[in-house]
Amino acid sequence: MAGIDHIFHAGRRGYRQRVHTERPKPLQQSQLQCRTLRSHALTVEEQVLIALRFYACETFYEVIADSMGVHRTTVGEVVTAVSDALARLLDHFVTFPTDGQIAKVKQNFFFLGDMPNTIGVINCTHVHIQAPRQREWEYVNRKGRHSINVQLVGDADLAITNCVVRWPGSVHDARIFRESRLFTEFQTNRPDGVILADSAYPLLPWVMTPFPTANTPSQMRNNNAHGRTRCAIERLNGVLKRRFACLNYLRVELQGACQITLACIVLHNIAVHRRVPLSDIDDPPEPLAPADDLGPPMDFPLNERLSGGARRDAIVCNYF
């Protein structure tokens, strides 16, 4: 139970923090107490174990209920309560590197793929869900399945440093990025480094995409280093869904699917920071996913895209 005790009592200890004027309180046992099973109350530990079992298995509530000796309704209520409680901890466990951590983050990325000045890698991943009751068509992605399109930013250690979990599967990756708080913050206050993205994203002074066509050996070396480094986000997506198999298909209502996804992201980062072994799920990196065929929307300022191109050319000139 040491790990459970850490999650529910350690709160912020040992984790990188973003500065907030008001920080949400760490999860307390009182948030999960008094959930009953007939005349017997489930302990907080029992509730957490039920939720963890669900997160780890791509299965139905009934199967979890049978294996844990509780009713199906109880499993649903417990998963909802634990997911909501974990989601409230998002700002404690999912934080972008601070100024004092940037140098180490850049070094780790450089060791990974020889790409300089990198502070993050970004991509979206689809969490498949059952058809929502309202505006169902908005959640049909380009593969014809209902999903939530989840934006993730990660580091070289596969920790998630930023996420957006709310957009329907039909929404373009670039629009999710354009509407995100991360975009707003970094457009105003430029970060000390660049985030790597595929060609579905805009080329900006702080967002580097590969050359569509490498016309010189230097551009080819840049693209190769970009691909090796950006592979971290593909591997992160794979590890997240292997660690929490429920994210392969969530048979719950839409709001519950978002909360479960956030809970799994929090738990993933706890596992990364506590160096939980990945021996059973550490597969080779997945192939880089192709960029969205539709291409990025053109509502990004032209001067920003030109400045991004100039910075990419400078990187090629100075490093490749």
Domain termination residue (choose one: 92, 126, 156) = 92
Q: ∠ CA 180-158-255 to the nearest 5 degrees?
A: 45
Q: 151 with 48, same domain? A: no
Closest CA to 262 of 139, 83, 104: 83
User: What pLDDT, on a 0 to 100 scale, did the predictor assign at position 107?
Assistant: 95
Compute the CA torsion angle 217, 221, 222, 227 (nearest 10 deg): 140
Q: 50 with 158, same domain? A: no
| DSSP state at residue 10 | I
Q: What is the rounded CA–CA span in Å between residue 220 and residue 217?
A: 5
Give the tens place of pLDDT for each residue, 271-286: 999 888 765 555 544 4
| DSSP state at residue 168 | E
- Domain residues for the domain of 276 are 94-280+299-319
Q: 73 with 180, same domain? A: no
Kindly state whether residue 74 falls inside one of the protein's structural domains: yes
Q: At what angle do helices 302-319 and 217-243 cross, to 10 degrees?
A: 110
Q: What is the rounded CA–CA span in Å between residue 221 and residue 198?
A: 16
User: What pLDDT, on a 0 to 100 scale, did the predictor assign at position 68?
Assistant: 84
| C-alpha distances in Å from residue 36, one per residue of 28, 47, 48, 81, 261 | 18, 10, 14, 13, 25
Kindly state whether residue 29 falls inside one of the protein's structural domains: no
Question: What is the length of the chain?
Answer: 320
Can you read off the two tokens belonging to residue 203? Answer: 């080329």
| C-alpha distances in Å from residue 96, one per residue of 100, 105, 182 | 11, 10, 9
- pLDDT (tens, 9 = 90+) of the chain, 320 residues, equals 444 444 544 443 333 333 333 444 455 555 565 555 454 678 899 899 999 999 999 888 899 888 888 889 999 999 999 999 999 999 999 999 999 999 999 999 999 999 999 999 999 999 999 999 999 999 999 999 999 999 999 999 999 999 999 999 999 999 999 999 999 999 999 999 999 999 999 999 999 999 999 899 999 999 999 999 999 999 999 999 999 999 999 999 999 999 999 999 999 999 999 888 765 555 544 444 455 545 554 455 555 567 888 899 999 989 98
Instruction: Give the number of other Cβ atoms within 10 Å of residue 25's Cβ.
Output: 12
Domain termination residue (choose one: 92, 123, 157) = 92
Let me know: does 115 contact 196? Beta carbons within 8 Å.
yes
Kindly state whether residue 153 falls inside one of the protein's structural domains: yes
Let me know: does 203 contact 300? Beta carbons within 8 Å.
no
Q: 84 with 126, same domain? A: no
Kindly state whether residue 182 falls inside one of the protein's structural domains: yes
Give the H/E segment covering residue 271.
Answer: helix 254-273
Q: How many structural domains compose the chain?
A: 2
Closest CA to 262 of 58, 75, 90: 90
Q: 146 with 243, same domain? A: yes
Q: ∠ CA 160-263-168 to the nearest 5 degrees?
A: 80
User: What pLDDT, on a 0 to 100 scale, did the predictor assign at position 286?
Assistant: 46
Q: 139 with 62, same domain? A: no
User: What pLDDT, on a 0 to 100 scale, did the predictor assign at position 105?
Assistant: 95
Kindly state whether residue 314 falls inside one of the protein's structural domains: yes
154, β-bridge pairs: 121, 160
Q: ∠ CA 271-275-280 to the nearest 5 degrees?
A: 80
Give the tens place of pLDDT for each residue, 115-165: 999 999 999 999 999 999 999 999 999 999 999 999 999 999 999 999 999
Tell me the pTM. Answer: 0.83
